[in-house]
Amino acid sequence: MNYDVAIIGGGPSGLMAAIGAAEQGAQTILIEKGKKLGKKLAISGGGRCNVTSRLPKEQIIEHIPGNGQFLYSAFSVFDNEDIISFFEDLGVALKEEDHGRMFPVSDSSKDVVQALISKLEQLNVKIMTQTSVKALDYNSSLHTVILDDNKKISAKSIVIAVGGKAVPHTGSTGDGYPWAKKAGHTITDLYPTEVPLLSNQMFIKERILQGLSLRDVRLTVKDKNNKPIISHRMDMVFTHFGISGPAVLRCSQFVVKLLNKDHQEVSIYIDTIPDQNQEQLYQQYRRLIEDSGKKSIKNILKGLAPERYLLFILAQSKVDSELKCANVSQEQLRTIIKNLKEFEIVIHGSLPLEKAFVTGGGVSIKEVVPTTMASKFIDRLFFCGEILDIHGYTGGYNITAALVTGRLAGQNAAWQSF
């Protein structure tokens, strides 16, 4: 079987690469080892599929802290606004939600996946599902894809779009790294990002706060010298093993990097009241306490945080929640406010890469042409999506990177095959 372009991997970047190649008139084959195409798209955004973001390009790149700058060249060819037009041209109407996140109006990821598959069929792309690739042979004129059953597919260009190692039930099991290494590429250290974090603190072990969500808090990661590394203001949740939720996921890659670098625990600080500083809060509540001698301290502080968390903070501050305001010392009040503003959680690890939403590390971007996604070592070999050492926050940023790099890889794979 001879093709102009063979694409391995039927995730977001592979689907986009196949469409990009076929639109240029290239005879295209898409090979996917799973039963279905677009599995990761189908589960993204809680099954609603957050296809991209409408934020300005610069902000999107800021939200891709793992080598987002590499995408500037790609964005000059095909960007988030082009993604929106692309889907609307396929008949998938999109709507904008908070933080610029773009979803299908139908709130169904199936519509997104089906529109892509219908486009592939319209373009006569040969689709092979439940087909595993055993090896790739690179040659000057034709590359060869060797399947598990030893059948061979010849292609002038190959696009590797098999993802990383996160969310393995979608098929991302790291298959592409050996193929990239065989082509001479460096695989940078792989690590989990957008991942829940682990803590051994007694209150976590005793599950005192398990299941409790905190809304709109600021989390700050500090290094061993107490220097702030990153802050994110979003929601979080306490679990039986540590902490999770949007703010935690965004901070996680910085925590994981510090854990790997320093080989010691990392501290995260929770600020429950991010709009006021400690002194403002202290003065405000000192006056309230002075005016309310007979009330209990917990009643005066009511509403500053969810009651369960407030009682926990009072216990951590060694203050009886029923203590009358007349008996609360200034020192006790300062301790309570400090704990509400910067309660320390000590992190010793994260869930494994297989439990992460996104893979950190991958094919070194120094070895890939940013305007085409072509290998700098092997002619007509391309990479796109999560196999590259590019990773962003959740919120449509990783899918944006996958769709943009997929589009470029597919188009250029076609052009170089003619």
Check whether 292 has a pLDDT greater than 90.
no
Contact between residue 156 and residue 166 where contact means Cβ atoms under 8 Å apart: no
> For 69-82, what is the mean pLDDT?
97
Segment 184-208 mean pLDDT: 96
Measured CA to CA in angstroms, residue 26 lies from 23, 86, 129, 396, 416 at distances of 7, 19, 20, 29, 10
- pLDDT for 291 equals 87
pLDDT tens, 138-182? 999 899 999 999 999 999 999 999 999 888 888 888 999 999 999
What six digits make up the tokens of 353?
């890469």
Q: What is the reported pLDDT for 262?
A: 84
What are the tens digits of pLDDT across the range 217-264?
A: 999 999 999 999 999 999 999 999 999 999 999 999 999 999 998 888
Residue 247: in which H helix or E strand, if any?
Answer: helix 246-262
Cα distances (Å, whole numbers) of residue 85 to 30, 45, 58, 78, 92: 24, 20, 19, 11, 9
Quick check: 373 and 409 in contact, CB under 8 A? yes
Phi and psi torsions of 238, nearest 5°: -90, 140
Per-residue model confidence (pLDDT) at position 170: 83
pLDDT given for residue 379 in this prediction: 97
pLDDT at 373 over 90: yes
Q: Going edge to edge, which strands form the sheet with 349-350? A: 343-347, 266-271, 213-222, 228-238, 242-244, 197-198, 349-350
* Residue 391: strand, helix, or coil: strand
Percent of the chain with pLDDT over 70: 100
3-class DSSP state of 407: helix
Is the per-residue pLDDT at 321 higher than 90? yes
Kind of pairing, strands 197-198 and 242-244?
A: antiparallel
- If pLDDT is split at 50, 70 and 90, which confidence band does 44 have? confident
Which tokens hold the place of 126? 């040969």
The token pair at 34 is 């799973």
Amino acid 137: pLDDT: 97
pLDDT at residue 45 above 90?
no
203, pLDDT greater than 90? yes
What pLDDT score was predicted for residue 72?
97
Burial of 299 (0-12, 13-18, 19+ CB in 10 A): middle
Answering whether pTM is above 0.85, one says yes
DSSP structure class, residue 188: P
Domains of the chain: 2-190+360-417 (3.50.50.60), 196-350 (no CATH)
> In which band, very low, low, confident or very high, does the pLDDT at 104 lie, cut at 50, 70 and 90?
very high
Asked whether the predicted pLDDT for residue 29 surpasses 90, the reply is yes
The SS3 of residue 219 is: strand
Q: Are 120 and 30 in contact (CB under 8 A)?
A: yes
pLDDT at 205: 96
